[in-house]
Amino acid sequence: MQDFRMETFLAVCRNLNYTKAAEELCITQPAVSQHIRHLEEYYGTRLFVSEGKKMVLTEAGRLLQSAGLTMRHDEYALKELLSQAGATERSLRMGATMTIGEFVLPSMLSSYMLKAPEASVHVTVANTADLLSLIDEGKLDFALVEGYFSRQDYDYQIYSTEKYIPVAGAGYRLRAANDSRKIRTEDLLGEALLIREKGSGTREVLERILEGKNLSVKDFRRLHEINNIQVMKYLVQEGRGITFLYEAAVHRELAQGCLREIPLKDFNVEHDFYFVWRKGSIFGGEYKEIFKQLKDKE
């Protein structure tokens, strides 16, 4: 069972405020201060410092936070494992981002279930930020994500490398130059852009690409924020704007001719799909074996 003082520390990390942490934990502020002081004395280092009116984590504090989250994750995973003692197969608690969950995960899980018919699989589909939080809380063992994550806090394996492309309806006429072979990313700013919600890996990839070109999603003529890929694809097919998606998510529509890739001179992007878990987890070796099983579709 994780030390209650570590739970206090993690609550202070979340709130960066002793009073709010005390309210969250339903204890007094002096108790919070005492717990933090005990940890600082035990580890022989400051965990928080003040910068003006703000409380910030020290580097030692950030390291302890990461270790604390891994310990929390492992505690929940161990509790789950012990509750299954004697079972022939351990249940998998995994997550997947929207794109992976809809267009990659089904065939992967079908193959895995065929090889491990006694396994019990629990899947959560959400955006990258939410999945990482669920891993931190110990509610998921691991996740398949396309968004960005901290290499300091998570171990990972690359599942696949996917092409990321701009897409329009088959008959959609761009406002840019008539010769589409000559247009660049910035020439699309006059279009309405359909994007995923904040926290989505698909959106974050686009935002980082645009940032590298000194552009932003806010530079487009209009933004439509859609948290469902099927709805987004339908609207693009109907000519309501353009979008940027993984080729895997629009493979069928491209083959059928109802969507088309927009050729750009300065846009040739590939991005990895990652299998991630808490860094330093005692179950890391097991997660790697599960990764091999999920990746092997034969």
pLDDT of residue 77: 79
Contact 157, 284 (CB under 8 A): no
Query: Could you give the CA distance from residue 210 to residue 213 in angstroms, rounded to a whole number?
Result: 5
3 state DSSP class of 225: strand
DSSP 8-class letter at 45: S
3 state DSSP class of 64: helix
Residue 114 neighbours by CB under 8 Å, 6+ apart? none
Examine the pLDDT at 178 and tell me if it is beyond 70: no
Dihedral of the alpha carbons of 134, 135, 138, 140, in degrees to the nearest 10: 80
3 state DSSP class of 276: strand
pLDDT of residue 118: 81
User: What is the pLDDT averaged over residues 219-233?
Assistant: 95
Nearest to 98 by CA among 147, 43, 41: 147
Query: Could you give the CA distance from residue 103 to residue 126 in angstroms, rounded to a whole number?
Result: 14
**pLDDT tens figures, 124-150:** 999 998 999 999 988 999 999 998 899
The label of the residue with tokens 């690359």 reads 158
Examine the pLDDT at 207 and tell me if it is beyond 70: yes
pLDDT of residue 116: 82
Higher pLDDT, residue 217 or 182: 217
Instruction: Say if strands 142-145 and 92-96 run parallel, antiparallel, or are unpaired.
Output: parallel
**Which tokens go with 201?**
């890996």
pLDDT of residue 56: 93
% residues pLDDT > 90 (the chain)? 69
DSSP 8-class letter at 248: G
Query: Could you give the CA distance from residue 205 to residue 211 in angstroms, rounded to a whole number?
Result: 10
pLDDT of residue 43: 92
**pLDDT tens figures, 30-62:** 999 999 999 999 999 999 998 888 899 999 999
Higher pLDDT, residue 174 or 80: 174
The helix (run of H) or strand (run of E) holding residue 145 is: strand 142-145
pLDDT of residue 295: 87
List the alpha helices (DSSP H) in 84-198: 98-103, 105-115, 128-136
pLDDT of residue 65: 92
Examine the pLDDT at 256 and tell me if it is beyond 90: yes
